[in-house]
């Protein structure tokens, strides 16, 4: 498999008022292969959305580089990036804000192709609507006439209009009911199989991630703490935080294990050493001094912990 998108030591810092810096993403390196689905998981505020946006050039990174098919796309001007835009698209959680309430669905769907001066818009819309399971009668209707699930389908269709090779989906199912969520998850998997689109799938729902993704990257306070094959990681997590996340998912077959103590620390003042040491049940004196680097523990499996569980 060839590498489609690669990030090297990517960081994104936000300058806040009063001279503070918020390190939303720190020193992240990852690769997305052609046709692969990589899931980014972690708790609220850990930098998943920021990383997703930075990966496809929505907002310049503070440091580090991003390569698309081996060519550097970070640090390019907006003009220079335009050439790449059709090949990378994003789907957001809140599908209602993507659609202008006063424009018909057909109008909104056609827009990206019009902007990029493509032809054959009508046929393209027809095929895509079929792929996302809607009839072409929706074109003359307005966004409010659709349910959340249908809007999310349209949202996905819009992102696919230009035939992207990479799709970044930021919590595409979080606002949906379980039964609708299942439809969207199926749809995304199907599209991946039939179109070969690579996907960065951002979510905090481990069950959905397991269903959707090939690989998983777990983030904590702006850093990736564990990465590997999704089934392997969820079967036997190597990082204490991954295990805690997995334990915190309520399940019928077992009582709730004792939850993690405390809250996620502020990304403005991340703890010294291992960022997780303030909540880690396995913490040792070394953890608060020395930051564990991401290292390989098995084929295709990396973890950032001094005392991994594997």
Partner 1 sequence: MGAEMLLKLHHLHLELPNGTALLEDVSLNVRRGDALGVVGESGSGKSLTAMSVMGLLPGLKASGSICFEGRELLGMKDREWRRLRGAGMAMIFQDPMTAFLPVRSIGAQIDEQIRLHDRVSRREARARTVALLGRMGVPDPEAAAKRYPHQLSGGLRQRAMIAMALSCGPSLLIADEPTTALDVTVQAQILTLLCEIRDSGAGVMLITHDMGVVAQTCTHVAVVYSGLVVEQGPVAAVMARPLHPYTQALLEAIPPLDGPRPEALPTIPGRPPAPDARPEGCVFAPRCRFVRPDCAVRPALREPEEGRHVACVLYDA
- SS3 sequence, the chain? CCEEEEEEEEEEEEECHHHCEEEEEEEEEEEEECCCEEEEECCCCCCHHHHHHHHCCCCCCCEEEEEECCEECCCCCHHHHCCCHHHEEEECCCHHHHCCCCCCHHHHHHHHHHHCCCCCHHHHHHHHHHHCCCCHHHHHCCHHHCCHHHHHHHHHHHHHCCCCCEEEEECCCCCCCHHHHHHHHHHHHHHHHHHCCEEEEECCCHHHHHHHCCEEEEEECCEEEEEEEHHHHHHCCCCHHHHHHHHHCCCCCCCCCCCCCCCCCCCCCCCCCCCCCCCCCCCCHHHHCCCCCCEEEECCEEECCCCCCC
Chosen from Mg ion, ligand ATP, partner 1, none, partner binding at 24 (C-beta under 5 to 8 Å by type): ligand ATP
Contact flags string 46-85 toward Mg ion, x per CB under 5 A: ---x------------------------------------
Q: Which is nearer to ligand ATP, 165 or 226 (CB)?
A: 226
Query: Minimal distance in Å, beta carbon 177 to partner 1?
Result: 4
Query: Minimal distance in Å, beta carbon 290 to partner 1?
Result: 24
Under rule CB under 6 A, which residues in 122-181 are in contact with ligand ATP? none
Query: Minimal distance in Å, beta carbon 23 to ligand ATP?
Result: 8
- Site for ligand ATP contains 28 (CB under 6 A): no
Residue range at the interface with Mg ion (CB under 5 A); choices 41-49, 147-155, 193-201, 294-302? 41-49
Chosen from ligand ATP, ligand SF4, Mg ion, none, partner binding at 118 (C-beta under 5 to 8 Å by type): none
Query: Minimal distance in Å, beta carbon 196 to ligand SF4?
Result: 36
Query: Minimal distance in Å, beta carbon 68 to Mg ion?
Result: 22
* Positions that interact with ligand ATP (CB under 6 A): 14, 22, 24, 42, 44-50, 204, 267
């Amino acid at each position: 498999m060839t590498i489609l998108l690669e990030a090297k030591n990517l960081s994104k810092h936000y300058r806040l008022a009063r001279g503070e810096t918020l390190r939303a993403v720190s020193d992240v390196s990852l690769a997305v292969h052609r046709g692969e689905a990589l899931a980014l998981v972690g708790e609220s505020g850990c930098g998943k959305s920021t990383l997703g946006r930075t990966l496809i050039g929505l907002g310049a990174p503070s440091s580090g580089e991003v390569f698309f098919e081996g060519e550097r796309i970070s640090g390019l001007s907006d003009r220079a990036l335009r050439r790449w835009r059709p090949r990378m698209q994003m789907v957001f959680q809140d599908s209602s804000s993507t659609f202008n309430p006063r424009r018909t669905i057909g109008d909104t769907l056609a827009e990206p192709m019009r902007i990029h001066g493509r032809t054959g818009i009508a046929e393209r819309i027809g095929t895509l609507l079929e792929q996302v399971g809607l009839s072409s009668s929706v074109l003359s209707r307005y966004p409010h006439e659709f349910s959340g699930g249908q809007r999310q389908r349209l949202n996905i269709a819009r992102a696919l209009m230009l035939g992207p090779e990479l799709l970044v989906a930021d919590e595409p199912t979080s606002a949906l009911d379980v039964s609708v969520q299942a439809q969207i998850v199926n749809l995304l998997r199907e599209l991946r199989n039939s179109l070969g689109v690579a996907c960065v799938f951002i979510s905090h729902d481990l069950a959905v991630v397991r269903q959707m993704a090939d690989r998983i990257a777990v983030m904590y306070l702006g850093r990736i703490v564990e990465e590997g094959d999704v089934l392997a990681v969820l079967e036997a997590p190597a990082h204490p935080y991954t295990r805690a996340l997995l334990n915190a998912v309520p399940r019928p077959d077992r009582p709730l294990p004792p939850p993690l103590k405390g809250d996620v620390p502020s990304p403005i003042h991340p703890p010294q050493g291992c960022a997780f040491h303030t909540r880690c049940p396995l913490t040792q004196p070394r953890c608060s001094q020395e930051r564990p680097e991401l290292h390989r523990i098995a084929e295709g499996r990396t973890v950032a912990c001094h005392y991994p569980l594997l």
